[in-house]
Amino acid sequence: MTTTMNAPSTRMLTLLSLLQDGRAWPAAELAERLDTTPRTMRRDIDRLRELGYPVESSRGPGGGYQLVAGQAMPPLALTDDEAVATVVGLQFAATAQVEGTTGALRKIEQVLPSRLRHRVQAVAATVDTVSRSTLDANTLRTLSMAAYAHQDVRFRYTNRAGAGSERRVHPYRQVFMDGRWYLLGWDRDRQDWRTFRLDRIDELDVPGTTFTPVPLPPAVSFVQRPDDRRQGVVRFEAPLATVSERLVPQAGSLEAIDETTCRYVTAADSWEWLAITLAVVGVPYTIEGPPELREYSRRLAERLSQAILES
Query: Tell me, what's the pLDDT at 227?
Result: 44
Higher pLDDT, 264 or 311: 264
Instruction: Please give the model's pTM, rounded to 2 decimal places.
Output: 0.44
| Phi, then psi, of 154 in degrees rounded to 5 | -130, 145
Query: Tell me, what's the pLDDT at 156?
Result: 95
Distances (CA, A) of 102 to 3, 99, 170, 297: 39, 8, 31, 50
Query: What CA–CA distance (Å, rounded) separates 133 from 271?
Result: 30
When mean pLDDT is compared across 54-58, 237-241, 259-263, the lowest value belongs to 54-58
Cβ-Cβ contacts under 8 Å for 308 (sequence gap 6 or more)? none
Query: Tell me, what's the pLDDT at 3?
Result: 43
Return the CATH class of domain 231-310: alpha beta
Q: How far apart are the first and last CA of the chain?
A: 91
**What mean pLDDT comes out for the span 179-188?**
84
Kindly report the CATH number that applies to the domain delimited by 137-215. 2.30.30
Domain ranges of the chain: 8-67, 80-126, 137-215, 231-310
pLDDT, the chain, mean: 77
| Phi, then psi, of 155 in degrees rounded to 5 | -160, 165
> Does the pLDDT at position 221 exceed 60?
no
Q: CA nearest 208: which of 135, 142, 141? A: 142
| Cβ count near 283 (within 10 Å) | 14
Which region holds residue 213: left if phi is over 0, alpha if psi is between -120 and 50, else beta?
beta
Query: Tell me, what's the pLDDT at 226?
Result: 44
Query: What CA–CA distance (Å, rounded) separates 220 from 79?
Result: 32
> Does the pLDDT at position 6 exceed 60?
no
Query: What CA–CA distance (Å, rounded) separates 245 from 43?
Result: 57
Return the CATH class of domain 8-67: mainly alpha
Q: How confident is the model at residue 212 (pLDDT cuts 50, 70, 90)?
A: very high
Q: How confident is the model at residue 167 (pLDDT cuts 50, 70, 90)?
A: very high
DSSP H or E run through 120: helix 114-126
**What mean pLDDT comes out for the span 295-299?**
89
- Residue 256 DSSP symbol: E
